[in-house]
């Protein structure tokens, strides 16, 4: 809640506020990110349908990288895991993306744990319209073109169930159901 309020204050204070003071959640619902992302990823199912299910954006903010966007056409009320995996490939039903992005060789944990995988992110829960939003500041990654913590050409993976933030190495989050390569926006 605190993060949402902070971001909406920033928006309203900027010249971008042409449509008034929308909250981040409002903007995510309409699919219009409130500021230019540095990187983006189009998320598609890993099955043969390869259907687009959403977009996730990244931009640098104080203290980290804001990861924001939405997934659509999900089962209402369903909670799923989202992570950044190390390899920018969605081939072989998402398996080619490899394990979680983990440049410091930490164990898997909750996304707030600075001693966990850099690629750990919060679970997403779909609303009654089947839309799930994410708006999270990840303090362990960078959106620079290269470097140890850069997520350029890595991949988002959506799993079939929730991350328990404990089980190794992927939080018992189940099959890989959707994937998107992170690219320069």
Residues forming contacts to Cu ion in the complex (CB under 5 A) are 83, 157
The residues near 158 (Cβ < 8 Å, ≥ 6 apart) are 43, 53, 71, 80, 81, 82, 124, 176, 177, 178, 179
Q: How far is the CB of 77 from Cu ion (least distance, A)?
A: 21
Nearest to Cu ion of 59, 154 (CB atom): 154
d(CA 95, CA 129): 29
Place of tokens 């409130």: 34
Nearest to Cu ion of 24, 155 (CB atom): 155
DSSP letter string, 137-185: EETT-B-SSSSTTB-TT-EEEEESS---SSSTTTTT--SEEEEEE-EE-
Q: How far is the CB of 121 from Cu ion (least distance, A)?
A: 9
Q: Which residue is nearest to Cu ion (CB)?
A: 83
Nearest to Cu ion of 8, 86 (CB atom): 86
Nearest to Cu ion of 4, 110 (CB atom): 110
Q: How far is the CB of 40 from Cu ion (least distance, A)?
A: 19
Cβ(181)–Cβ(41) under 8 Å? yes
Nearest to Cu ion of 118, 157 (CB atom): 157
Nearest Cα neighbor of 74 from 185, 162, 169 is 162
Q: How far is the CB of 124 from Cu ion (least distance, A)?
A: 12
Cβ(22)–Cβ(34) under 8 Å? yes
Q: How far is the CB of 159 from Cu ion (least distance, A)?
A: 5
């Amino acid at each position: 809640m605190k993060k949402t309020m902070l971001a909406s204050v920033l928006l309203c204070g900027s010249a971008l506020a042409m449509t008034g003071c929308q909250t981040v959640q409002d903007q995510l619902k309409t699919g219009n990110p409130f500021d230019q992302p540095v990187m983006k990823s189009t998320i598609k199912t890993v099955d043969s349908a390869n259907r687009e299910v959403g977009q996730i954006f990244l931009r640098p903010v104080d203290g980290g990288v804001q990861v924001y966007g939405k997934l659509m056409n999900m089962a209402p009320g369903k909670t799923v895991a989202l992570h950044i995996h190390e390899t920018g490939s969605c081939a072989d039903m998402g398996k080619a993306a490899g394990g979680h992005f983990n440049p410091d060789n930490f164990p898997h944990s909750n996304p707030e744990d600075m001693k966990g995988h850099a690629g750990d992110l919060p679970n997403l829960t779909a609303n009654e319209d089947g839309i799930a939003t994410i708006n999270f500041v990840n303090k362990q990654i960078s959106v620079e073109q290269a470097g140890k913590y850069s997520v350029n050409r890595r991949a988002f993976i959506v799993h079939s169930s929730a991350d328990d933030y404990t089980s190794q190495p992927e939080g018992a989050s189940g099959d890989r159901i959707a994937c998107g390569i992170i690219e320069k926006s």
